[in-house]
Chains A and B, each alone.
Chain A
């Protein structure tokens, strides 16, 4: 049961990274390229916009039902970045919808644009900061320590912010590839092709910074990753895919690169998981929170499993149907 629940959780995170990530990334691209990106972005994400964000809700529900101490610990130590993420989700979500379903475009849309763009970037960065804090190992439960050590230090540092920027770049990269796969004009294909390449170069640079900082700050994740063969293999695989994706962009194989990028993101996440799992939160005192010591009782897992089986059986065919209706038929 535990394995199945973890599998569904991983799938939820994978799809959230891909689809939710494409959506965050769309906002980030708009931030840097301006109004000309709005139309292709709508075409790409508007119909599946709501659905993309359901993955996060699914993941959170699995965590607080199946692994309550993890949820509680994150809520306390990472309260501030999580609150920023939430405000970002609320603001960008409403700005996007308000603007999209508005009756006509006028001057007021400038406000929606900027709220959507800035909060997209902010949310993506702080999602990464939160992830970084789970790896960083400075989360502290000592009630006698200072406010700074309890609520700020676990996430407010160079390492966590480098992870934040890395995640934002991944999202922007996914978004540019996703938009490329839509039926857009040749001029736009060139534009988003260049963007995708720039984002991938930036990912390599920031990724190296993340690793360097991990080394400098003795982040436990680094040594774990170095000793896990699966991590090595997965990260190598993700790197090898990069030139193939560039080639695909040049040769206009726009559907093929979508698959490659999905695979690449999957490999990066696998590489991360192989090093980090079963630990989910690295603690300062060494009492790490793992899948095993945080798991809810068997009875809870049993019913959670039933809910997830029924859920998967109804959600996946429906999503397939939605994508088929709104995506493929329009081409």
Chain B
């Protein structure tokens, strides 16, 4: 394995791992704050116990998110020193704000976890809200930094020198808003469905468990609202990419030939030899419309991208199909959920619906990882789009494959321990809210 491949794999794996924990840290605090608000309003202790249980989960996930985030902030330099040397001063500003936001999040979490009987009730509730808001802000800021790599701005690149640096323009580049919005919504979709699915799984065993019922409803409502909004944000992102990064859009769609009235290609296997997509479904004119809002608009194909600037088409295309497929499915399920809540409330806890939601546990995260694959692999071979190649940024140190193997091992090990740990946490809850099988009930 060469250094570049190893470094890219290590980065991809570290990011992919961290993203799951940061999404949990960004969203569950809102579920938790909502549950506590319900408790304060209704005095129903189920909500208090739920708040406490979620808070404990957050504490564990936050710690993993914090250490894997620390790891990433160093990895930027360890793996891509040439990039950080030049880019650090330009795109670093959102990180300096992120540092603050993260700090506040940790402090507020400390107050929330250890302040139960020490601070006034509403202050306690507020500290939970602060955890959520600052977590979300951290996410937005980090994504803003990433978006600069896709849409570099705030500097002039003259004779290999980076001059006229404007960090504000770098942070608020053309891509930051669409990326940050899409990511924030995705975090809610993925976590909302995963949490709901987990509680749904236990509801299947005992449909009258008040604890899981309350949790299921709160998590799924957050997830479903976001799942219905996310296609709109996705459409906005796609239109943005069509203009800014035509190579990425062409790779996402496996769109080999520039044409007017381009069809939307769904599924299929891109063939880079023949420049065709086999076994795909084609919707005439749809790509032109989705990308440019005009059925006859010209969509740039990979034929206009120089060979040495072409992203890996197969990876990007498949990742994009997975993301959109899952996103559409979850949006559809969300519509059903809202219809049931509106018309047939009793069916929300119907075993079939619970089973569907349980099966959704991993889906949101798969879509999330696929989406990041589209963003990152779709930008290749650039680390700073059209300015610096990934190959030129990589560390001169040989043997990066070993650090990749170690990272892979340590993170896999942590994942296994975490799952085991969560099982223990949930069985502890069942001491107070016993799982009796439906028959025993």
Contact = CB atoms under 8 A, between A and B. Distances in A.
Given A72-B82, A103-B428, A318-B108, A98 B70 contact: no
Given A93-B67, A98-B421, A61 B98 contact: yes
A50 B73 contact: no
Given A54-B103, A57-B69, A308 B96 contact: yes
Interface in B62-106: 62-64, 66-71, 73-78, 81-82, 84-90, 92-93, 95-100, 102-104, 106
B68 A97 contact: no
A75 B99 contact: no
A234 interface: no
B113 interface: yes
Residue of B81, B85, B107, B427 with most chain A CB atoms under a 10 A cut-off: B107
A303 B106 contact: no
A82 B75 CA distance: 9
A54 B99 CA distance: 8
Contacts of A50: 62-63, 66, 106, 109-110
A53 interface: yes
Contact of B395 (A62, A65, A76, A315): A76
Nearest to A53: B66
A75 B84 contact: yes
Interface stretch (B37-45, B163-171, B292-300, B319-327): B163-171
Given A50-B62, A57-B69, A58-B103, A103 B425 contact: yes
Contact of B74 (A82, A300, A304): A82
A292 B227 CA distance: 50
B167 A318 contact: no
Contacts of B66: 50, 53-54, 93
Given A57-B102, A74-B77, A75-B84, A304 B92 contact: yes
A50 B78 CA distance: 24
Interface in A298-331: 299-300, 303-304, 307-308, 310-311, 314-315, 318-319, 321-322, 325-326, 329-330
B96 A94 contact: no
Contacts of B165: 296-297, 299-300
B275 interface: no
Contact of B93 (A48, A93, A303): A303
Nearest to A320: B107
Q: How large is the interface on A (under 10, 10 to 19, 20 to 34, 35 or more residues)?
A: 35 or more
Contact of B71 (A86, A296, A297, A310): A86
Main SS class of interface, B:
helix
Contacts of B427: 103
Interface string A83-115: 100110111011011100111100000000000
Contact of A300 (B93, B397, B421): B93
B417 interface: yes
A326 B119 CA distance: 10
A54 B102 CA distance: 8
Q: How large is the interface on B (under 10, 10 to 19, 20 to 34, 35 or more residues)?
A: 35 or more
Contact of B114 (A47, A75, A150): A47
B73 A61 contact: yes
A76 B103 contact: no
A68 B110 contact: no
Interface string B25-66: 000000000000000000000000000000010011011101
B159 to A, nearest CB: 16
B143 interface: no
B67 A297 contact: no
Nearest to A310: B100
Given A72-B82, A79-B395, A51 B77 contact: no
Contact of A79 (B59, B73, B397, B418): B397
A60 interface: yes
Contact of A83 (B59, B63, B68, B403): B403
A76 B81 contact: yes
12 contacts: A50-B109, A58-B99, A58-B103, A62-B99, A64-B77, A65-B88, A69-B85, A82-B78, A98-B421, A103-B428, A299-B166, A325-B111
Interface of B: 56, 59-60, 62-64, 66-71, 73-78, 81-82, 84-90, 92-93, 95-100, 102-104, 106-111, 113-115, 118-119, 165-168, 395-398, 403, 406, 410, 414, 417-418, 421, 424-425, 427-428
Task: List the 8 closest A-B pairs by CB distance, nearest first.
Answer: A65-B92, A68-B88, A75-B77, A296-B89, A311-B100, A97-B63, A72-B85, A307-B96
Given A94-B414, A300-B90, 12 more contacts: A64-B95, A65-B92, A66-B89, A68-B87, A73-B81, A76-B81, A76-B395, A87-B406, A93-B66, A297-B89, A318-B103, A326-B111
Interface of A: 46-48, 50-51, 53-54, 56-58, 60-62, 64-66, 68-69, 71-76, 79, 82-83, 86-87, 89-91, 93-94, 96-98, 101-104, 143, 147, 150-151, 296-297, 299-300, 303-304, 307-308, 310-311, 314-315, 318-319, 321-322, 325-326, 329-330
